[in-house]
């Protein structure tokens, strides 16, 4: 039985500066737990209320207090992640993902246009052979259909990730376009994460360890899915990325590159960066550097905010 007092005693809260704005932020706060079995990360985005954030806390506790499952592969292919930057900034972003043969490009950014998205995708396509895009639910069905046509004029897309918000909308987009549709938020933010698959609304399932309650919880969901799985990060620190790499390493099959290279979006992280080799990262958990934890420590008021948040989530843990 894990005790709240023990979790709080083992807690560190860090603030990680980012190279570019991503999900509207330039500083990423996470709480990490130095547990008896390893390090766990609680990084639910600050706008998430306790019922949703509690899944992320469950993931952190599982990593900190329970043994890891055994991996079936020792290295994981990763995609480059390209934020909603101007097209001319794309080469600098891609340079941080040596050897990556797949890139995920953020699109449908508020304040930008479809022409901006097309220019960004074409700039990526000039250097990387396989391109996928992620709209984070930012389009209507008609906008998604138009975007699919515009974004494939210069070449194919591996898939459209979460083009619209709802499962019925995803299903309609899937009927109207030839590009495969991937589901992310419709899985990780759903009361029933399998609903989107049962509804025939996705060709690919994007699974993230923390929102689904941990590595084993994610693997249990993956075992019930009959479409390809892509393991991705939730803007995790190196600790959370390590959990994702372990999860990807445990899957019986892995046919797509995973979105686990987002550590390069940080200026500083809790562990020394691991450079991809031939577009792959090792499937192993991460132990942070204590000097980095100290240097990146969040101010006392922010540490208390995370402590209060853990207290609010604690009664919701199953």
Instruction: Supply the residues annotated as catalytic.
Output: 106, 208
Distance CA(207)–CA(183), nearest Å, equals 9
Distance CA(117)–CA(178), nearest Å, equals 19
Query: How is residue 212 annotated by DSSP?
Result: G
Instruction: Please state the separation of Cα 318 from the chain's center in Å.
Output: 23
Whether 278 contacts 99, CB under 8 Å: yes
Q: If you search the block for the tokens 């509804």, which residue do you land on?
A: 199
Query: How is residue 67 annotated by DSSP?
Result: P
Angle, vertex CA 20, rays to CA 92 and CA 206, nearest 5? 90
Q: How far is CA 116 from CA 24, 81, 85, 120, 162, in A?
A: 17, 17, 9, 6, 19
Known binding positions for Mg(2+): 134, 161, 184
Return the half-sphere exposure (C-beta side, CA atoms, 13 A cut-off) of residue 102.
19
Whether 281 contacts 100, CB under 8 Å: no
The pair of structure tokens assigned to 199 is: 């509804």
């Amino acid at each position: 039985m894990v005790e709240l007092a023990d979790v709080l005693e083992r807690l560190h809260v860090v603030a990680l500066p980012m190279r570019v704005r991503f999900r509207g932020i330039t500083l990423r706060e996470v709480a990490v737990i130095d547990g008896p079995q390893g390090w766990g990360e609680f990084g639910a985005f600050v706008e998430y209320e306790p019922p949703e954030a509690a899944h992320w806390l469950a993931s952190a506790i599982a990593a900190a207090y329970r043994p890891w499952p055994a991996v079936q592969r020792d290295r994981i292919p990763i995609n480059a992640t390209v934020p909603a930057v101007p097209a001319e900034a794309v080469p600098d972003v891609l340079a941080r993902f040596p050897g990556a043969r797949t890139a995920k490009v953020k699109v449908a950014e508020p304040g930008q246009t479809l022409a901006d998205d097309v220019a960004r995708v074409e700039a990526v396509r000039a250097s990387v052979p396989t391109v996928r895009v992620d709209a984070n639910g930012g389009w209507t069905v008609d906008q998604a259909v138009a975007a699919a046509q515009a974004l494939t004029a210069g070449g194919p897309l591996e898939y459209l990730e979460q083009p619209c918000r709802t499962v019925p909308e995803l299903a309609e987009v899937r009927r109207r376009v030839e590009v495969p549709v991937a589901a992310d938020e419709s899985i990780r933010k759903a009361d029933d994460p399998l609903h989107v698959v049962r509804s025939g609304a996705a060709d690919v399932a994007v699974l993230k360890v923390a929102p689904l309650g941990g590595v084993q919880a994610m693997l249990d969901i993956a075992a019930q899915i009959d479409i390809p799985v892509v393991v991705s990060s939730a803007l995790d620190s190196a600790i959370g990325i390590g959990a994702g790499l372990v999860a990807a390493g445990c899957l019986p099959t892995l046919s797509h590159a995973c979105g686990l290279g987002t550590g390069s979006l940080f200026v500083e992280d809790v562990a020394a960066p691991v450079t991809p080799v031939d577009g792959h990262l090792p499937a192993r958990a991460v132990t942070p550097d204590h000097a980095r934890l100290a240097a990146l420590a969040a101010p006392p008021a922010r540490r208390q905010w995370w402590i209060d948040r853990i207290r609010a989530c604690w009664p919701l843990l199953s």
